[in-house]
Structure 1
Amino acid sequence: MSRRLPSEEAHQLWQEYRAGDMYALARIMQSYYADLFHWGMRLHPDREFVKDCIQEIFLNLWKQQGTANVVDNVRAYLLVVLKTRILRDLARQHTTHQASLSDEYAFSVEFAADVQWIEEENEVYQIRKLERVINHLPDRQKELIYLRFYQNLSFEQIADVMHLGRQSVYNLLQKSLTSLRKNWTVSSIAFLFLQLAVYSIRYTVFGG
């Protein structure tokens, strides 16, 4: 599986794609497919549905090469597009409008793919415990933590993905970390999140 592209390289490929280079779009898809799939599975439990959504996104991009948007961060943009596509389906299932679902969709955090890289049993135990504690947080807080520490997005990019203001992202993260501190010290939380960031990169590069 392809490595995760640095944002600068992805931006250059996006420019080449907009100029008509379909190989550049293929490179983007190969690099970010694992990130998009992992993200989609947090929003919808159906693996085949998530795969279909990702394929549909890139098929549409293939058709739109001459009119594709200018984007600042390709990965964040694709995460937003996939989320919108999945929420649209959830909206149809609930026979309501997508906007009314924006704060109601379920979000789950799972690190099953990552612990395969961990050799120390105690580290696996700690990450499993972290997973359980995170999943007791409200869905929006879980989503924020996932985007910040697993997808490694900036606060500005998280704000775009979650349709929040930057200050709201800061406030929500503070609430989340306050809840987590009830179970761990600040240094322990930081260490575990650092591990997850490292393992998420290894998973993206080597596959899972």
Structure 2
Amino acid sequence: MSDLTDEILWKSLKEGDLASFSILFKKFYASLFNYGLKISKDKVLTEDALQDFFVYIYEHKENLSDLDSIAPYLFSSFRRFIIKKINKRQKHIMVRHVDSNIVDINFTAEEFITNQESTTFRNKNLALLINQLPKRQREVIYLKFHCNLKANEIAETMNINYQSVINTLHKAIKNLREDVAIDKLLNY
């Protein structure tokens, strides 16, 4: 049953099929958790928000729209869900305000690590360079390369238009290339 298309999986979930819900949960939990953690910087809050998010989806399954692709819906909905949780929590505790238009994602070197030492060195430098990018560029890079979302799915997730995603991704890659070129000049 795990080889179902997104459309069939979503339709089955809407009809109350617990197996479909389980597949959806297992398929998207890790990537949504990592994305939420980038937004909140708090593991407990992210886990609680994600649990509540999936409960909300199941409880409101009859009211969900039909979908061809599940990922953009889940990422954009969870993004709004966790930002609301953070801002609600802010009323009770002094926590940093999260602007729903610009999420501040930072990368760690571990997200780029492979088994080779030279690759590890390059990955640490890449993480440093990516963290110097503007917030929106970092979020687009994260959604593109870590969550494997397509440009139209990123646009839906971030609530911006398709061309803005393309332009932001292009600027981010251009900035990284320029930074790498400058870094190479300084190190030689």
Smaller-chain TM-score range? 0.7 to 0.9
Q: Which runs of 5+ in 1 are unaligned?
A: 186-208
Deviations 1:65-117 (A, max 9, x none): 2222212321221111111012113333566xxxx9233442222352552xx
Give the 3 Å change call, closer, same or farther, for CA 32–104 of structure 1 in structure 2. closer
Aligned Cα RMSD in Å?
A: 2.3
SS in 1 for 2:140: helix
**Residue of 63, 66, 71 corresponding to 1:67:** 63
Partner of 1:139: 135
Indicate conservation of the 8 Å contact 1:7/1:74, yes or no: no
Q: Distance in 1 between matches of 2:105 and 2:52?
A: 22
Aligned length: 175
- Inter-CA distance 56–94: structure 2 relative to 1 (3 Å threshold): closer
Which position in structure 2 is the counterpart of 1:77?
73
Counterpart for residue 94 of structure 2: none
Q: Write the mapping of 1:182-197 to structure 2, written as runs, cut at 5 A.
A: 182-184=178-180
Which range is displaced more, 168-177 or 63-72?
63-72
CA distance in 1: counterparts of 2:88 and 2:63, whole angstroms? 28
Deviations 1:5-25 (A, max 9, x none): 999633321111112212101
SS in 1 for 2:104: coil
Contact 1:53–1:85, Cα closer than 8 Å, also in 2: yes
1:181 correspondence with 2:170: no
The residue that corresponds to 1:166 in the other structure is 162
Higher relative contact order (Cα pairs below 8 Å, separated by 6+ residues): 1
Instruction: Tell me which residue corresponds to 1:24.
Output: 20
The verdict on how the C-alpha distance between 1:179 and 1:79 changes in structure 2, with shifts beyond 3 A counting, is same
Q: Percent identity?
A: 25
- What residue number does 1:107 align with? 105
Alpha-carbon spacing, 1:110–1:7, altered in 2? closer, same or farther (3 Å) = farther
How far 1:32 moved relative to its partner? 1.1
Change (3 A) 1:6 1:122: farther
Which structure has the greater CA radius of gyration?
A: 2
- Tell me, which stretches of 5 or more residues in structure 2 are unaligned? 92-97, 182-188
SS in 1 for 2:80: helix
Q: Give a deviation string over 1:13-62, Cα, whole Å, max 9, x none.
A: 11111122121011110111111111111101110110111111111122
- Give the structure-1-normalised TM-score: 0.76
> Per the alignment, do residues 90 and 13 of structure 1 end up closer, same or farther by CA in structure 2, a change over 3 Å counting?
same
Does the Cα contact within 8 Å between 1:22 and 1:62 map onto a contact in 2? no
Task: Determine the structure 2 residue equivalent to 1:38.
Answer: 34
2:83 to 61, 83, 87: 87
